[in-house]
Structure formats: C-alpha cells, structure tokens
Structure 1
C-alpha cells in the first residue's frame, strides 16, 4: 500500500506518513520508553492515544493511525470554538489520570520541553491543536508523543493553554490564524473543563510564565542548531522579538485574565 504524507508538525516535518491502518515515523533514542508508555495507556483502557505496533526494518516506528480531523495553521474556525477547547482539556484530564498509573523511573525521556521541576506522571508536553485528533468537533486523541516526559500534569496543562487559548500577543496569534477572543474566558474554560480548584488555577497561572520560557528557549535552540523547520518558523514569527512581544503582552493582560480565571463563583 502506498504511503501518504501527513501534514503538520515541526520536529518531524515531511517524515511522517500513513500506511493503511498505521503511521510510520522516525525513531528517536526515546522511542522504546514512549512505546512502553503508550502500551500502558492502552492496557489502562485509555483510547485517546496511538497504539505501538513495532519497529520497521528501515528504522521507523509503526503506530496505529487514528482517524479524524487534525487542524493546522491557519486554524479553521471550527477549531477555535469554546467547545473544541473544552473537549481537549477534558481529554487531557483523562490522559493524565491514565498516565498516573505508569512508572517512568527506569526509562530515558526527552527533556527538551519537560517540566523543569520534574514529576512522576508522564506528560505529553506538546499539546497544540496539530497534536490533537478531533471527530465532529470533539477531541478524541492525542498524537506525537516525541517530547513526552515525567512532570506535573499542571505544567502540561499550562503548555496546552498557552498554545490553544492562546496565551499570546495579537500579532503572533493572528499569524497562526487565531481570531480575536476573550483569553480570560477561554483560560477559565480550560480550568473548569479540567476540573481545577481555585488554588490549582492560581498555580496554573504561575506555570504559564515558566512554560513561555521553556517554549521560547526550545525554539531558539533548535533554530540556532540550524534545524530548517525551526529556522523557518523563527524567521516567520519575528525571531527574538516574537518572544519579547509575547512576554510584554502577558505582563499587560495577566491581571485581567487572572481576575477572570480566579473569579468568585468558580470551583
């Protein structure tokens, strides 16, 4: 059966294909750990992640293909709805619950986007819209676990919120196709859909700062190393000015967003 190139992604751009019921992707030093983790998720009853099939003779990993819609920039209108955001946050809650049963300590993990504080729950660490499969506007699965590593679920949720609310300046957000939206309302929706109490919401707001730093440093490192995909996105989004602009935007808008997320009457 002929291979079909799958679009989206940066780290493996142009190297991920569908082969009938399977997906073929480049292996990494962390593939054995990821396969053990994904197999554990399947055994736990969580159906929102690919199932590992094995390794091909050419060195690629083979995973089950999950049918559905995967939005890529510029993001379509349906992918920017509140219902899509809420369903993705709920999927993350169920994913973290299933992941908490797995012991990651004996294995090696990619720490490029991992929680700097560490943790014992394997997190996805790269949940953007391009890494979520939707059916009829509802999130059904997470894909692309290359950056999975132990950490705190709230740090994983902060990355997701930063990318999918989005917590970003208007210029950068518009370049990805995002429409203007009430970021405070959408961040509160993430917190409510995940089931956060008020104290956890306050922690989430603090982790957004650290997530911005980790994400910015990751893109800069990859661009400075000459990775073509990251060089391209670095230049298109404005280089270091893009991250300075986001930091300034967050400092200006955080008080309003924080008051909305922590407003009396929430969980």
Structure 2
C-alpha cells in the first residue's frame, strides 16, 4: 500500500484488504476470478453498465476492477439509504441485473462459491449479497452493484429474498434496532421492494418462505465461519447477540409469514 492508496471500508469477508488506486480498485481475487470477470464483461455486453468492469489479475493474487463513484451506506445505516424511494430503486436495479444476467451463458466449469448460493441452483448467475455495503447510490437512488465475490447460479427469486433480508430488513425489531433507523415497517417495505423489482404474483406468494430459506443458508454460512475460528465472524456473532439472535429472527419470520404474504399480494 502506498501513500496514494485509499483503503475502502465496508463488508466483512475482505475487510482491510480492498484499496482504491486512482480509477481502479484492487482487492483479493476470488478463486473463480476468471469466470467471474468473463461474467462481468458479458453483463456490460448485454446492457448492464452498473457493475465494475474487470481490468485484470495481478501476480500476487489480486484483481483489478474499475472504481464506481457514489455513496455506499455503512452500518449503522443512515436515514437517506432507508427511504422508500431508495428501497424501490434497489429493487429496480436488481431487476436490471437479472434481465442482463439471464442472457449470459453460465460457465458450468467454474467453481462458483456455494457460501450463499441458492440450494436449488439455477441457470442464471445471481449476486447473492446485495446488502447496503454493496450498493452504490447517486442522488439518492441505487446506481450500481459491487462485490460479486459470492455470485453463483440460482433463481432470481433467491436473489430478491437475499436482498430483502438486508434492505427491508427481514429482521425482528430488536435485531433491526442495532443497525437500522427506527420505525421501519417490514411488511410495507417488503411490498415496496417487490413493486420496485416488478415481482410476479406467483413469486410474491413464494417470497416469504424463500426468505426463511435464505436465512437458514445465511445462518449455516456464519456457523461454518465461526467453526473455522474466523475472527471477524466470531466477533460479529458475539457483538450481535449470538445464536439467540438467529433463533429470535427465524421465529419472527415464521410468525409473520401470513402478514408478509398479505402485504405482497393485497
């Protein structure tokens, strides 16, 4: 790192290892970097210009991508990132990504990460980690997506569910209070996200259960990280209420499933 480098904060998996060097971002390259770079290039060919453009790989195992200017919300999340208009724009941006991604042929030989991937698989590469840390805003609207490290084939609905977990958020009020502004109506915001995306009636009916499934996958991901003694996840689990928080969150989702379904369909 030189005096001209700027450390970029946010996220957990590559904390402290991502730097901006002028118009480029340098970060640890994922194992499937070549396939992922080909995918990002294909997105642009199919009209999606709201993702980083891959530039290359370095000899020391890092990747270079174009820097996308704008604002990124970091926890505790500010009010401007949690407005209804911001939420709707996240849904619209995700729909644009999926429209382009559906036209890209999946490289079935690539070692796509399974960490947060759809357990049912799919024929389209999904982002899988559209959290506030990974969305670039301009003028109050979601303008670009970054950090495709966890991208993998899956259902579009899976990506919507994962996005809802972070942006609605689909958390019990006690858990949400730690990082989100007070007074967010989960059911109403879930509807706003679905409307912004343009989700079909069939997918709206299925979404609450898929969110529950996605939460189980996220919990299993954290469980593996903690079992491997990953210090970032061990500390985060302790600071965020331990496994009791996950129990509370999952119970809350099941208890409010009918409420969420009604909000989506009525």
- TM-score normalised by structure 1 residue count: 0.96
Query: Do the aligned partners of 2:72 and 2:135 also contact (CA within 8 Å) in 1?
Result: yes
Aligned to 1:186, which of 186, 189, 196? Answer: 189
**Partner residue, 1:29:** 31
Answering whether residue 95 of structure 2 is matched by residue 106 of structure 1, we say no
Q: What are the within-5 Å matches in structure 2 for residues 153-232 of structure 1?
A: 153-232=156-235
Aligned to 1:43, which of 42, 45, 62? Answer: 45
Answering whether residue 104 of structure 2 is matched by residue 136 of structure 1, we say no
**Partner residue, 1:253:** 256
Answering whether residue 137 of structure 2 is matched by residue 127 of structure 1, we say no
Q: How far apart are 1:39 and its partner, in Å?
A: 0.7
Query: Do the aligned partners of 1:5 and 1:16 also contact (CA within 8 Å) in 2?
Result: yes
Deviates more, 1:191-200 or 1:147-156: 191-200
Q: How far apart are 1:254 and its partner, in Å?
A: 2.2
SS state of the match for residue 122, structure 2?
Answer: coil
Query: Do the aligned partners of 1:220 and 1:234 also contact (CA within 8 Å) in 2?
Result: no
Query: Do the aligned partners of 1:71 and 1:129 also contact (CA within 8 Å) in 2?
Result: yes
Aligned partners of 2:252 and 2:152: how far apart in 1? 29
Aligned partners of 2:141 and 2:167: how far apart in 1? 14
SS state of the match for residue 54, structure 1?
Answer: strand
Aligned partners of 1:209 and 1:8: how far apart in 2? 25
SS state of the match for residue 177, structure 2?
Answer: helix
Structure 1: which 5+ residue stretches go unaligned? none
1:44-73 CA-partner distances (Å, limit 9, x unpaired): 121110000001232210000000000010
- TM-score normalised by structure 2 residue count: 0.96
Aligned to 1:9, which of 4, 8, 11? Answer: 11
Answering whether residue 56 of structure 2 is matched by residue 54 of structure 1, we say yes
Query: Do the aligned partners of 2:212 and 2:254 also contact (CA within 8 Å) in 1?
Result: no
Aligned partners of 1:65 and 1:36: how far apart in 2? 18
Segments ≥4 residues shifted beyond 6 Å: none
Query: Do the aligned partners of 2:209 and 2:257 also contact (CA within 8 Å) in 1?
Result: no
How many residues end up aligned between the 2 structures?
Answer: 263
1:199-252 CA-partner distances (Å, limit 9, x unpaired): 110121221110010011111211221112111111111111111010121122
SS state of the match for residue 175, structure 1?
Answer: coil
Aligned partners of 2:260 and 2:163: how far apart in 1? 16
